[in-house]
Amino acid sequence: MSEQLIAQAKAWRAQDPDAETRAELETLIADAEGGNEAAVAELHSRFDERLVFGTAGLRGRIEAGPARMNRVLVSQAAAGFAAYLLSRETTPSVVIGYDGRKNSQIFATDTAELMAGAGVRAIILPRLLPTPVLAFAVRELGVSAGVMVTASHNPPDDNGYKVYLGGPDGGSQIVTPADAEIEKQIAAVAAEQNVLELPRSTDYETADDTVVDEYVRRTAALAPAEPQPLRYVYTAMHGVGLETARRVFTEAGFPEPIVVEAQAHPDPAFPTVAFPNPEEPGALDLSYATAAEAGAELVIANDPDADRLAVAVPHNGSWRRLSGNEVGALLGWRAAQRMQWAGKDGTLAASIVSSPALSEIARQYNLDYADTLTGFKWVSRVGGLVYGYEEALGYLVDPDKVRDKDGISAALDFLSLVSELKASGTSLEQHQRDFDDRFGAYASSQVSVRVTDLGEITRVMARLRQDVPSHIGTQRVASMHDFSDGFAQFPPSDILRFNLESGARLIVRPSGTEPKLKVYIDASSTDGSADERRAAAQAIVDELDAGIRTLIA
């Protein structure tokens, strides 16, 4: 234990306006001074580093210290972001939203007061609302920037801070170099100022419901004129999606959703799920039970801040969640058809870890296609974008309205697809088979390894770079692309892509939001019937899945 560490912790405690985190830190300091090694190690984990802007801004566990999410860190971030905005404009403005997580409204209010105190026009949304509404508000209100307080689908004890830029950035999330420039301003605030002494003002505005109403109106307009009646289940996953999503669905002409009542309303404890992410095993069990009881045709799920969408369908007497790539390809086909019917050009885009299926759709419809780095901040910035997605359940079906993934707009688009298929006398299952017949069958898988030591991820990536495998399973590696020094149009990134002789692909990268190493596997087949194609593609994926697990163990 160093005196400097204890001094840092005490200085942090002295400026912490939150009684809960201040008391927690007081106990930790006392235990460390008493010789408790675990307390010393915990202080090191909180004070040796700071949270910095990553894939989705700031995100971390709500606890005291610069490596956690708390009122001190958020105040420093707000003041630093205000300084950044003032360095770009003489009269900047910001709109601020928040979800139902612990401290979300507190962090949003702190941000509004500090922005106003710094001379930035600050507007806070009228109540807790989905992230897509905040992203829409940045464009709709014509402001310089947006802040959304949310940790999306992270564990219950986390919160986060997403930043958007208006003007030339079009309401997209921040990217390089803005993230580094904002971080520099935040670091200056942290080094030079006590957050209790930062200028604050309650002279900020609260938006009325007009911005929400306009989001609902423009989203509902995506639906067909006379949708077919559908019996579908909706879950908000203990988040903020229900009110807005239900308004969108009904205004578009669909019947009221059958709601999973136990998950309908915001609850920061997320009591019915082990992990509030629709991708996680068990997260949709209550939805399936509700759907079975109601005789539903479809399950629609948003994550807690409603920027992601999960879809499940009846399958062999049970329910099957479609993968993000399956939904992404079907909505991409739908987008390509819209462009063809309208006689327009445009670009389809997906992150590099998403299925290659979308590029084949673009090719067959004579549309442009763009690969991007992971993170929707990259997808949303593609020029001429008409549709974009990433396999982690993120879809952008109406980029003229919002420049971020939007689980509510995507849900409506998927409901509309099912409605139109029903009206034409066919089914979603047959539509998927038609897709495989036309574009080829695509299969994908993801291996996700959670670690407690981030150094383990670094070691695995280094090992794969230094000793490139000749085979993964029995599949021969044709080439490897290392993105660390930049590759093709991409900036330097900690990504490895293995190209197999079979045409399959495997990508390895650290997660940008969680302590995980992620592997994305994709294969396709155009031989035989739709069933034979699916089986062939899946067999390759299964083999690569097993093979890579042995390599990264």
Can you give the residue ranges of every domain in the chain?
A: 1-48, 54-208, 227-439, 440-552
Q: Residues of 441-453 as b/e, b for ≥16 C-beta within 10 angstroms?
A: bbbbbbbebeeee
Q: Chain-wide mean pLDDT for the chain?
A: 95
- 218, burial (CB in 10 Å: exposed 0-12, middle 13-18, buried 19+): middle
**Res 55: pLDDT:** 60
CA-atom Rg of the chain in angstroms:
24
- The secondary structure element, H or E, covering residue 389 is strand 385-390
**Percent of the chain with pLDDT strictly greater than 70:** 99
Confidence of residue 512 (pLDDT cuts 50, 70, 90): confident
pLDDT digits (tens, 9 = 90+) for 107-140: 999 999 999 999 999 999 999 999 999 999 999 9
Q: Residues of 133-169 as b/e, b for ≥16 C-beta within 10 angstroms?
A: bbbbbbbbbebbbbbbbbbbbbebbbbbbbbbbbeeb
* pLDDT > 90? residue 2: no
Rounded CA-CA distance 545/543 in Å is: 5
| Class of the CATH domain delimited by 440-552 | alpha beta
Active site residue 152: yes
Domains 227-439 and 440-552 share a fold: no
* pLDDT > 90? residue 488: no
* pLDDT > 90? residue 1: no
Kindly state the greatest CA–CA separation across the chain.
Answer: 74
Given 75, 104, 152, 380, the catalytic residue:
152
* pLDDT > 90? residue 204: yes
| Beta strand extents in 451-541 (DSSP E only) | 471-472, 475-482, 496-500, 505-510, 516-525
pTM metric for this prediction: 0.95
Contact 297, 314 (CB under 8 A): yes
Rounded CA-CA distance 122/150 in Å is: 18
| Class of the CATH domain delimited by 54-208 | alpha beta
| Class of the CATH domain delimited by 227-439 | alpha beta
Confidence of residue 54 (pLDDT cuts 50, 70, 90): low
pLDDT digits (tens, 9 = 90+) for 215-254: 999 999 999 888 999 999 999 999 999 999 999 999 999 9
